[in-house]
Structure 1
Amino acid sequence: MKFLYFIFFELVTRLLPILGWVSPKVSHFLKGRVGIIAQLQEYRSKNPGELIWFHVASLGEYEQARPVISMLKSHQPDTKVVLSFFSPSGYDNTVKRPNPDLDYITYLPLDRKSWMEKFVSVMKPDQVFFVKYDLWYHLISSLKNKGIPSYLIAASFRPNQIYFSWYGGFFRKMLFDLDWIFTQNRQSLDLLRQHRIQRVSLAGDTRFDRVAATASSPKPLENIRSWIGDRPVVVVGSAWEEDMRLLIPLINSRENYKWIIAPHDLDPEPMDRWSKQIVQASKKYSGWTSADSNSVLFIDNIGMLSSLYQFARIAYVGGAFGKGLHNILEPLGFSVPVVFGKVKRESKFPEATQAQQEGCGFSVENEQQLFLVFSELEKEETYRRAASSAKNWVNSNLGSAGRIVTYIHSTKKSL
């Protein structure tokens, strides 16, 4: 398997430049990685000293890392924190929104042995954190060989993953080579121990810490507040075409509501098309003022959604009918009941199942079910129960970041 892994990356590194000629996404993926080692080398020459490195796949995993990053930085303000991304979309969105807890942001090289060994040698991290997944064999081997502590936080595993298959020993070795794994849930903890991986503990889901922090100090967005007035609001987060097919009839049936819609894709064409199907007047945020009388507002930018939930009576989160459900914990952090499509793989989105069991999440498969759920949530008693359940569930799951940081500091002192 190791030989096949080696051959795969040898082929990939030769094929991607060819694909880049015809695929803008591949081209962007490659251009972002040009010169990253030299740039890192320059940064480290000017910023020596202790450094903690967090690696994430994309934006969602970065959000899970943020509570841990913030807590470590507050305890060790002079320690540099570097964040690496695999995904261009995660990188692009993060560099546009500076975080004072981050000192340097970079891409991760492809997992060729020589590239990863060079990258680690230049980085010289004192500790490395992986978030949820996106583990790479040569990277982890290099860290192990250099004696650099490495951790996996917010880990969520399923029995059908390659790590636990009969042929997955090569990939399972990465889990053994990590110094500690902090799992989101008990199922992941038990699964790892069944496969004799013992350096594990249950820390919980750091996303609860993140959404609680956002809810405690959202962006004020006074222009939105002024526009809303005393009307009830539905915030639709990360809407896809499949979601809007269900939502547009509902929007047209509820003229007393204000609707704030944040599409997954900022392409104006779908927003223009949806506007034509909606009876009420609609506008895009980029061309809107709070004095406008529209009832539907499309958010055509990045960075507002998490704070917009503060205005919601009910939230709808999209993606379940497509590639995967987006973050339902963000509205729940504001004690807002959340509706979403029926997920295709429940094991991949355990929070969706749990939210339904708690009574604050509501799954729908079609337009009829959406109308029924929405009508039920318009009943005051049902709504109060759902909102209270959301608040209690979030509060009962806080503290994951603290458990992780406490363990890290305790092991560091014992060295």
Structure 2
Amino acid sequence: MKWVYNLGMHLLSFALPLISLFSEKIQLFYKGRKNLFTDLESFRKANSGPLIWFHVASLGEFEQAKPVISGLKHSFPNHLISVSFYSPSGFIPTQKKSPNEVDYIGYLPIDTAKNAATYLGILQPKMSFFVKYDLWFNFLQCLNQKKIPTFLIAASFRDDQIYFKRKGFFRAPIFSFNHIFCQNEHSQSLLNQIGYTNHSLSGDTRFDRVAENAMMAKEFTEITKWVGGSKVMVLGSVWEEDMDLLIPLINSNPDYQFIIAPHDIKSKHLQTWANQIQTKTLFYSQWDQTEKSPILIIDNIGMLSRLYQYATIAYVGGAFGEGLHNILEPIGFGVPVIFGEVRKVNKFPEAEEAIAQGCGFSVGNGEELNEKFDALKNPLLMQNTRQAAKNWVESQLGASAKILAYTSKYLKS
């Protein structure tokens, strides 16, 4: 099976230039990698110190890595931090607003043995982290051969994943890690079933991240004035399928103000949504801050995680489409969150747990959305849900500290 995989990776490398002509997303994927090794060499020539490498698939996984990155940078300030992304949707916004703790951000090359050897040969990491998933066979094999301590953090495994169905090549990525830090006990059980025992229960680092975000969040002065004393519903990472339900809700609740943060700020649907909303709608990028309207569409990147501080209620999108976005961000502010009915519950365990904790509410249609929204207008229920959110976050803190305590010894030795 190994040769089939490697052949597929080589064919992908050759086909990318052609495929990119027909897809804007693939074009970003291809162009972003054209000068990858040259850029990496330039960075290492200018920055020759010891380095810790993190690989993430996209933006959500980077958020999970951030508390660990911050902790390592604080404990080992002489170490450089490099982060690689697989997806342009994660790389592009992060590159525009790179955290202070990260010294280099780039793409991961296609997973061929040659690329892996070249990449790691230039990068020379002292330690590496993969986050949640996006496990690449040749990279992990090369890390193993070089005896570079390698860890998987925020792991959340499912029964239907190939690691637990097939042996040999398919299972090799798991056994490449020095240690796996699991989000939940079920993931540990699955690892035990295949004979992998170098694991521990750390929890989800996102709780550390959202608690930190809520504590450190700076206000947007203009939005603070816009909100005034009104009740606000923040609609985060919404898609067209979400707005089909939400626009009637907006039109029937003039006593609320609504902040709409679309998943895709370039979507042609934004103007359509504005036309369907019966009240004047402002676009943040064109807003002169003197215009008055209860509807504000955020057509900028990077604001959403801080916008939840203004929410009375939040709605997080994606469940009706490609997958539920981060519901823990509003919960970190003690805000009850409504979201669509999750199709694959085992892929988003936080959704089921939020419901069980009493701060998350799943809806399958517009009628259910109206019911949940109206119910949350009850002051007692609102108070209880806000407290439930705070209690849940507080009970889940500490995942990053556990990971740092274990992995730091590899840098001290």
Write the letter of the residue equivalent to 1:44: R
Q: Is residue 136 of structure 2 the alignment partner of residue 175 of structure 1?
A: no
Aligned to 2:291: 292
Aligned to 1:270: 269
Aligned to 1:338: 337
Check conservation: 1:182, 1:202, Cα contact below 8 A.
yes
- Secondary structure of 2:171 counterpart: helix
**For residues 164 and 297 of structure 2, what CA distance do their matches in structure 1 show?**
44
Q: Is residue 70 of structure 2 the alignment partner of residue 70 of structure 1?
A: yes
Check conservation: 2:83, 2:102, Cα contact below 8 A.
yes
Choose 339-348 or 260-269, whichever is displaced more.
260-269
1:166-210 Cα distance to aligned partner (Å, 9 max, x none): x34312111111101001111101111111101100111000011
Check conservation: 1:227, 1:291, Cα contact below 8 A.
no
Check conservation: 1:52, 1:82, Cα contact below 8 A.
yes
Check conservation: 1:156, 1:183, Cα contact below 8 A.
yes
Write the letter of the residue equivalent to 1:60: G
**For residues 311 and 24 of structure 1, what CA distance do their matches in structure 2 show?**
34
Aligned to 1:106: 106
Counterparts of 1:237-252 in structure 2 under 5 Å? Answer: 237-252=236-251
Write the letter of the residue equivalent to 2:261: A
Shift of 1:283: 0.8
Check conservation: 1:227, 1:292, Cα contact below 8 A.
no
Write the letter of the residue equivalent to 2:111: D
Shift of 1:291: 2.6
Q: Is residue 300 of structure 2 the alignment partner of residue 307 of structure 1?
A: no
Shift of 1:35: 2.0
Shift of 1:412: 4.3
1:251-295 Cα distance to aligned partner (Å, 9 max, x none): 111101110000111125312111111112211001113332101
**Structure 1 residues 268 and 43, CA gap change in structure 2 (3 angstroms):** closer
Provide the identity percentage.
Answer: 48
Aligned to 1:347: 346
Write the letter of the residue equivalent to 1:138: N
Check conservation: 1:337, 1:390, Cα contact below 8 A.
yes
**For residues 274 and 27 of structure 1, what CA distance do their matches in structure 2 show?**
28
Write the letter of the residue equivalent to 1:33: R
**Structure 1 residues 47 and 292, CA gap change in structure 2 (3 angstroms):** same
Choose 365-374 or 282-291, whichever is displaced more.
282-291
Unaligned stretches of 5+ residues in structure 1: none
Choose 78-87 or 263-272, whichever is displaced more.
263-272
Aligned to 1:406: 405
Shift of 1:216: 0.4
- Secondary structure of 2:110 counterpart: coil
Shift of 1:66: 0.3
Aligned to 2:27: 27
Choose 371-380 or 259-268, whichever is displaced more.
259-268
Write the letter of the residue equivalent to 1:383: M
Counterparts of 1:216-235 in structure 2 under 5 Å? Answer: 216-235=215-234
**For residues 142 and 151 of structure 2, what CA distance do their matches in structure 1 show?**
14
Write the letter of the residue equivalent to 2:296: L
1:355-374 Cα distance to aligned partner (Å, 9 max, x none): 00000000000010011111
Shift of 1:68: 0.2
Aligned to 2:40: 40
**For residues 18 and 316 of structure 2, what CA distance do their matches in structure 1 show?**
37
Paired residues in the alignment total 413
**For residues 55 and 360 of structure 1, what CA distance do their matches in structure 2 show?**
32
Aligned to 1:208: 207
1:190-235 Cα distance to aligned partner (Å, 9 max, x none): 1111111011001110000110111001121011010111110000
Write the letter of the residue equivalent to 2:215: S
Aligned to 2:362: 363
**For residues 14 and 268 of structure 1, what CA distance do their matches in structure 2 show?**
31
- Secondary structure of 1:20 counterpart: helix
Check conservation: 2:128, 2:151, Cα contact below 8 A.
yes
Counterparts of 1:104-143 in structure 2 under 5 Å? Answer: 104-143=104-143
Aligned to 1:325: 324
Aligned to 2:378: 379
Q: Scaled by the length of structure 1, what TM-score is found?
A: 0.98
1:294-337 Cα distance to aligned partner (Å, 9 max, x none): 01000001111010100100000000000000000000000000
- Secondary structure of 1:27 counterpart: helix
Q: Scaled by the length of structure 2, what TM-score is found?
A: 0.98
**For residues 24 and 290 of structure 1, what CA distance do their matches in structure 2 show?**
34
**For residues 411 and 124 of structure 2, what CA distance do their matches in structure 1 show?**
17
Check conservation: 2:249, 2:370, Cα contact below 8 A.
yes
**Structure 1 residues 196 and 222, CA gap change in structure 2 (3 angstroms):** same
Check conservation: 1:226, 1:290, Cα contact below 8 A.
no
- Secondary structure of 1:368 counterpart: helix
Backbone CA RMSD of aligned residues: 1.1
Shift of 1:70: 0.3
Check conservation: 2:149, 2:410, Cα contact below 8 A.
no
- Secondary structure of 1:138 counterpart: helix
Write the letter of the residue equivalent to 1:321: F
Q: Is residue 4 of structure 2 the alignment partner of residue 4 of structure 1?
A: yes
Check conservation: 1:233, 1:314, Cα contact below 8 A.
yes
Unaligned stretches of 5+ residues in structure 2: none
**For residues 159 and 168 of structure 1, what CA distance do their matches in structure 2 show?**
14
Aligned to 1:186: 185
Shift of 1:390: 0.3
**For residues 226 and 191 of structure 1, what CA distance do their matches in structure 2 show?**
51
- Secondary structure of 2:33 counterpart: coil
**For residues 250 and 228 of structure 1, what CA distance do their matches in structure 2 show?**
19
Q: Is residue 161 of structure 2 the alignment partner of residue 161 of structure 1?
A: yes
Shift of 1:98: 2.2
**For residues 195 and 184 of structure 1, what CA distance do their matches in structure 2 show?**
18
Aligned to 2:86: 86
